[in-house]
A and B are shown apart, each in its own frame.
Chain A
Amino acid sequence: MIEVRPPAEVPARGEALPGAAIDEARASSVAKLRVFRGEPGTPSRYDEFDVPVEEGMVVLDALHWIQGNGAPDLAVRWNCKAAKCGSCGAEVNGRPSLTCKTRLSDFDLDEPITVEPMRTFPLVRDLVTDVSWNYEVNRSIEPFSPPADVPQSDWRWQQEDIERVQEFRKCIECFLCQDVCHVLRNHETERPFMGPRFLVRAAGLEMHPIDQADRRPYLKDVGGVGYCNITKCCTEVCPEHIKITDNAIIPLKERVADEFYDPIQWAWRKLRGRSDSAPDRRSLPVLQAGRQAEPSIEPTPERLARAVGEDSPVAEPMHAAAPTTSTPAAEPTPAAERTDAGKVAKAARATAGARAKRARRRPDTGDETPSEG
């Protein structure tokens, strides 16, 4: 039972592969990346890096190159590097993107590529934001509720019955849809809004062939489905190409409308004595306003406006139990340590201007830019 057949003329050594490291000799050109740096309570800045570009390279490759060549402390959240985990979301030239699938070849390399953290969430440091609010929202949704009286051995459904649900379950929770959603981004509501990601999750549960729960009162009164005004920005940025607005949100809106605004349903509810009010055992947390500001013309000065001088709480763990003793405070980072002094001064000047400006339209997202109404 000999199974091993060593290859002919194999050197006795294993294969020396270049792997993920960028081989500078093979690099064909150079990209200039402008990367947001900073954390709450310290001055922020943009650092520029000249990154050798290889064929097929993505923004995350460039960020890794930067970490290995001069900025080992550049904070980037990432995991799979294959667009499957949804960790590496950021705003590349103002557009919410997964950096692991945003290719450098899609940009004009004569211009710098600006990489910034997702705007909607409080900053932790550099490109990392505190997305824990999303996990809190998720927890408020009533989970899958199969029928108690049908044994699982009798559960049957056809592939076509679940294709819509499977579309929703493709979601990788990158939160780019939450980031781009103007209701969340600009804090347009007084009351909580769960955002596209969780409307998608709710839709996946509501449309499951055997789910028994009725989440309509929750969606109406707690989740705030009515706040979505169908600008479809979320669909536009979804890396999984889920038709969030058309397939999830609009049908949910219709279900809620049928339940609550249909006169027959209304009368029936009265007869049954069911309340219109929201279930009280669940509530949504409110997204921290933190460093939020109005939409920007250009990300650069606006970003600084937010990060400089405006405080945002450092991330708390998702739902860690209250500590029994106090946490030693994190050491302050020597922020401008490696910053070119001139750059800082320029950034500070830009900051003042940005505060005064009103939003127009972000150049690269065009009409998809969140707008009022």
Chain B
Amino acid sequence: MVLASEVLDQIETHPVDVLVIGAGGAGLRAAIEAKAAGASVGLVCKSLLGKAHTVMAEGGVAAALGHVDPEDKWQTHFRDTMVGGKLLNNARMAELHAREAPDRVRELEAWGAVFDRTRDGRILQRPFGGHSHPRLAHVGDRTGLEMIRTLQDRAVAAGVDVFMECTITRLITGADGVVGAFGYWRTTGGPVVFPAKTVVLATGGIGKAYTVTSNSWEYSGDGHALAYSVGADLIDMEFVQFHPTGMVWPPGVRGLLVTEAVRGEGGILRNKDGERFMSRYLPEDRRGEYASTDEEAARWVTAQSEGRVTDARRPPELSTRDNVSRAIYTEVREGRGSPHGGVFLDISYLPPEHVRRKLPSMYDQFKELADVDITTGPMEVGPTTHYVMGGVRVDAETGASTVPGLYAAGEVAGGMHGANRLGGNSLSDLLVFGQRTGAAAAAAATSVAGWKKAPYLDPVQVRDAGRELAAPLEEGGGEDPYALQRDLQDVMQRLVGIFRVAADLQEATSELSRLKARWPAVGVRGGRTFNPGWNLVFELRNLLVVSEAITRSALQRTESRGAHSRIDHPETDQAGWGGRNSVVRRRPDGSMEVTTTALPEMSDELRLLLGGAH
């Protein structure tokens, strides 16, 4: 029997000023900023450095640089973001994002990123769904890799301490909020604590709650669940983005992302009858923004490939993601799908050289994984769980959550994208709010009284976290974590997908509570050394929390808006729901409270920018 007070003497301890959890774009950018501000920074990540999900981002980073179209300003970017988010965005976040993204992109270039160029030698920008101007700075279709490598090299050169292959399972709280975190090394299984003056969550999303997803195993809602566990608010959790184009075949890669850049470069969506169906699905109030004939769309594509401004309007395939996903889903459901249950996406009418140069990794991906040459034939694509708009409720300026000492940036933070995120706005979000949050977390850490002293960690919490960690190993032949994960994914995929209805959502909540009841009995074989079954147990706990939050929030919102489509409430109810965010928080008894809050007030300047859209 170990006394609680002895626990702290026996555990590996790394005190830091700022602990950043997650080393994707947001975490790296936050760590760089906090380090530059003079704080000591620990950066913890579940994988090797440089493997985080940002590496998968393909199409580009949205910033109104105005290199291709000088008309593009932060105001237009702001407006597109709000319109794309169905006005549910935190307007101040959308404003900061649009204003600061260009500087953040230029900063990457100054740190060594090598973006594709315009003819006059500047950063090239490509068009994307929902963006009214060519706006995405990019490197072929591997923009995320370029970004993460640039940030990684910068962070390491700056002297950020990186703790790789380390999972945080618990936040430790004190009288003044969050004071550190408890985790374990995935390579050895040994426990570790990080006393920290401030903690930044940058853990990404929740895609692994679904069967078909473009997300890797890492996307288990860790930050969402950690924040929830210490009483922080989560907002807008019902808004899960289903990316319209994931691979549908072969089965092993079902859900794998097919970048929107394919459509940005001119990719055409067709059903099995060869019909270019997207124009049928354009929302009436936005139809005027899209090409009305194939000829006009083709003129637009030609102009884009030559880097010219054109009066032709963009193709209907570049509608917002929520809309394209529903369209594809409907085509398939109504029997007009492709052989493997998707639709066709065709870029093969463009010169092969051009396709290979602009979409090299898509070319390789289809060639190597599906035996399809995208320069000679169409791809088969269908919707895939891609991104969660909802997340930790944060202050727009600082990324501070509703719990002192706890911050969030990137996908784990909510508010920025409203009901639907535009492509390319995620990478810029990571940079803008990573930078802001890193600066704020460092400022708060260095202003805490007695700043040289490491915070005191409650030994009881640390001991309990250690026991929780060991429990599945002691269970031996208990509940199989892989089976539990499959069952969870099945519930979410089946009942809380693209189209939702009250009866399904109610069934999902009762299914989820049954799954939750199975969790404590999960047991695993083997030891602590790089044991994936054991690792999965703690991710499952987090997935159960976020799944419940998504389902209950979806049940509460009795309207359709953006990525949230209710069959039983197909209308967008502006009067009833237009001004309200869903809020999820943990009650003291451990149950989940679901409520709403009014959207933050918008300044008159921003209101004016939105004009008729508002």
Residues of A within 8 A of B275 (CB): none
Are B49 and A10 interface neighbours, CB within 8 A? no
| Contact of B250 with A330 in the complex, beta carbons under 8 Å | no
Is B199 in contact with chain A by the CB < 8 A criterion? Answer: no
A3 close to B (CB within 8 Å): yes
Q: Mark A1-42, 1 if CB is under 8 A from B, else 0.
A: 111111111101111111111110010000000000001000
Any A CB within 8 A of the CB of B518: no
**In the complex, what distance in Å separates the CA atom of A79 from the CA atom of B364?**
18
Q: Give the CA-CA distance A113 to B51 in the complex, in Å.
A: 27
Contact B187–A124 (Cβ < 8 Å): yes
With an 8 A cutoff between CB atoms, is A366 at the interface?
no
Interface-located stretch among A50-58, A181-189, A255-263, A351-359: A50-58
**A4 B188 Cβ-Cβ under 8 A:** no
Q: Which of A129-137, A264-272, A287-295, A303-311 contacts B (4 or more CB under 8 A)?
A: A129-137
Chain A interface secondary structure, helix, strand, loop or mixed? loop
- Is B142's CB under 8 angstroms from A20's CB? no
Task: Flag if A328 contacts B10 (CB, 8 Å).
Answer: yes
Chain B nearest CB, measured from A7 CB (Å): 4
Question: What is the distance, in angstroms, from A123's C-beta to the closest C-beta of chain B?
Answer: 10
Question: Within 8 Å CB of A317, what residues of B?
Answer: 162-166, 185, 187
- A4–B570 contact, CB under 8 A? yes
Please report the C-alpha to C-alpha distance between residue A101 and residue B166 in the assembled complex, in whole angstroms.
Answer: 26
In the bound complex, residues from chain A placing their C-beta under 8 Å from that of B530 are 75, 77, 124-126, 128
CB <8 Å contact, A5 and B326? yes
With the chains together, A311 CA to B376 CA distance in Å? 52
Contact in complex: B13, A325 (CB < 8 Å)? yes
- How many residues on the B side are at the interface (Cβ–Cβ under 8 A)? 124
Contact A73 B532 (CB under 8 A): yes
Q: 8 Å CB contacts to B: which residues of A161-178?
A: 162, 165-166, 169-170, 172-173
The segment out of B92-100, B365-373, B423-431 that lies at the interface is B365-373
Given A169-B149, A326-B12, CB of A10 within 8 Å of CB of B567: yes
What bracket does the count of chain A residues touching chain B fall in? 35 or more
Partner of A73, one of B51, B139, B146, B534: B534
Say if the beta carbon of A67 comes within 8 Å of chain B. yes
**Contact, CB under 8 Å: B532 / A67:** yes
Is A109 engaged at the interface, CB distance under 8 Å to the other chain? Answer: no
Q: Which of A83-91, A219-227, A273-281 faces chain B?
A: A83-91
Task: Find out whether the CB atom of B572 lies under 8 angstroms from the CB atom of A2.
Answer: yes
Q: Which of A1, A84, A169, A338 contacts B283 (CB 8 A)?
A: A1
CB of B216 within 8 A of CB of A79, answer yes
Give chain A interface residues in 71-118, CB to chain B under 8 Å.
72-87, 101, 103
Q: How far is the CA of A169 from the CA of B361 in the complex (A)?
A: 13
Q: Pick the contact of B216: A81, A326, A329 (CB < 8 A).
A: A81
**A157–B121 contact, CB under 8 A?**
yes
Closest to A72 in B: B533
Stretch of A139-147, A229-237, A245-253 contacting B (4+ beta carbons < 8 Å)? A139-147
Is the Cβ of B528 less than 8 Å from the Cβ of A155? no
CB B165 to nearest CB in A, in angstroms, measures 7
Note all chain B residues with C-beta closer than 8 A to A22.
Answer: 251-252
Known pairs A4-B566, A15-B333, A73-B533; list 6 more (Cβ under 8 Å).
A18-B251, A60-B252, A85-B50, A146-B112, A159-B124, A327-B192
Of the A-B pairs whose beta carbons lie under 8 Å apart in the complex, a sample of 24, sorted by A's number, is A4-B560, A4-B565, A17-B341, A18-B254, A57-B252, A72-B481, A73-B525, A73-B531, A74-B532, A79-B216, A84-B145, A85-B51, A126-B530, A131-B48, A169-B149, A317-B165, A317-B166, A318-B163, A327-B192, A328-B191, A330-B189, A330-B190, A331-B528, A338-B525
What 8 pairs between A and B have smallest CB-CB spacing?
A: A56-B250, A73-B526, A14-B497, A144-B112, A156-B121, A72-B533, A19-B211, A333-B527
- Residues of B in contact with A (beta carbons under 8 Å apart): 9-15, 42, 47-53, 55-56, 106, 109-112, 114, 116-117, 120-122, 124, 139-140, 142, 145-146, 149, 153-154, 156-157, 161-166, 185, 187-192, 211-212, 216-218, 249-257, 281, 283-285, 322-323, 326, 329-330, 333-334, 341, 360-361, 364-365, 368-371, 473, 480-483, 486, 489-490, 493-501, 503-504, 524-534, 560, 565-567, 570-572, 574
